[in-house]
């Protein structure tokens, strides 16, 4: 039984639209349509906001930060699975590093990095995530 349908909203569809509109298109005007603060980053080593609870303004700053480093940032969702108020996606981030990251000056190189994120929902809105990213793969591409 697909629990995402039985709870009254389709969390997979919501997450797909969120990834496209907010992360891929950089449309910050629709963040409040998808995010219910506080947005909790339960686990995301290497993320400057790891372990924090974000309001909408801070969530938008987080998106802008990523898009300043990778102005052409694009997430390709490989797989999406969900049950109830949890949806997991495996993804590839594609982008050209045009901005500095802590300890890693801009290179102008195009990278492809994989990751897995579990998103948490409440009443049809995203309330946080738990994420792992192939940061070693990124650093290896960075140094080539």
Judged by DSSP in three states, 41 sits in strand
Distance CA 68, CA 104 (A): 14
Q: How many CB atoms lie within 10 A of CB 121?
A: 22
pLDDT over threshold 90, residue 8 = no
DSSP secondary structure, 69-138, as one string: H-TT-EEEEEEEEEETTEEEEEEEEEEE--S-BTTB-----EEEEEEEEEEEEETTEEEEEEEEE-HHHH
- 105-132: pLDDT as tens digits: 999 999 999 999 999 999 999 999 999 9
For the domain 3-143, what is the CATH code?
3.10.450.50
- 49-67: pLDDT as tens digits: 999 999 999 999 999 999 9
Distance CA 55, CA 50 (A): 14
């Amino acid at each position: 039984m697909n629990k995402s349908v039985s709870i009254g909203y389709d969390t997979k569809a919501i997450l797909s639209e969120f990834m496209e509109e907010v992360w891929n298109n950089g449309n910050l005007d629709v963040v409040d349509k998808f995010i219910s603060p506080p947005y909790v980053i339960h686990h995301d080593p290497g993320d400057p906001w790891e372990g924090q609870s974000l309001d909408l303004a801070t969530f938008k700053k987080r998106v802008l930060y990523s898009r300043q480093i990778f102005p052409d940032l694009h997430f390709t969702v490989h797989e999406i699975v969900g049950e109830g108020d949890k949806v997991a996606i495996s993804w590839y981030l594609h982008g050209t590093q045009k901005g500095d990251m802590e300890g890693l000056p801009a290179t102008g190189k195009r990278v492809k990095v994989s990751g897995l994120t579990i998103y948490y929902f409440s009443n049809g809105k995203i309330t946080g995530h738990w994420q792992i990213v192939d940061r070693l793969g990124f650093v290896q591409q960075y140094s080539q």
